[in-house]
Amino acid sequence: MNVEFINPFLSSLLNVLSTMAQTELKPGKPSLKKDELARGDVSGLIGMVGPQTKGSLSITFDENLALTIMERMLGERPDAVNEEVTDMVGEITNMVTGGAKNLLGEKGYEFDMATPVVVSGKGHTIAHKCEGAKVLIPFTSADGNANIEVSFDKL
């Protein structure tokens, strides 16, 4: 997969969380993901389709990180992942994808975004609806971990 296509999603995630939630993430080493098991407790998944390709993005957060982001954005910290937290994860997924869409549009890549789907719970799975490899990029922070998965059909 083309790094030029993945980096806009990473920089968009870092930008959204630092701007909206004063949260700094440190990216780790990318790897290919072979299974569908989520690497966290709550995930936003969004599909994208355009003339050049189709694909999907997921962002998964550890519960503590999701609750901390919620507290920093809205001033309240829920006791556990609830409907408000899942709504927030869906909105973050939307903002990250929108930011990446703008960056990729400058390079001539166009795509439309679907509405994000949010899944939560220990051991949940994420199913990307495309044929391409799944690239997993881990992020660490003082408040917990996050992971981005990007998968696109041939690029």
Is the CB of residue 61 less than 8 Å from the CB of residue 40? yes
End-to-end CA distance of the chain: 7
The model carries a pTM of 0.93
Per-position pLDDT tens, the chain of length 155: 567 788 999 999 999 999 999 999 999 999 999 999 999 999 999 999 988 778 999 999 999 999 999 999 999 999 999 999 999 999 999 999 999 999 999 988 888 999 999 999 999 999 998 888 899 999 999 999 999 999 988 65
What distance in Å separates the CA atoms of residue 136 and residue 43, rounded to the nearest whole number?
13
Beta bridge partners of 144: 141
Is the CB of residue 114 less than 8 Å from the CB of residue 54? no
What distance in Å separates the CA atoms of residue 39 and residue 123, rounded to the nearest whole number?
8
Beta bridge partners of 148: 59, 137
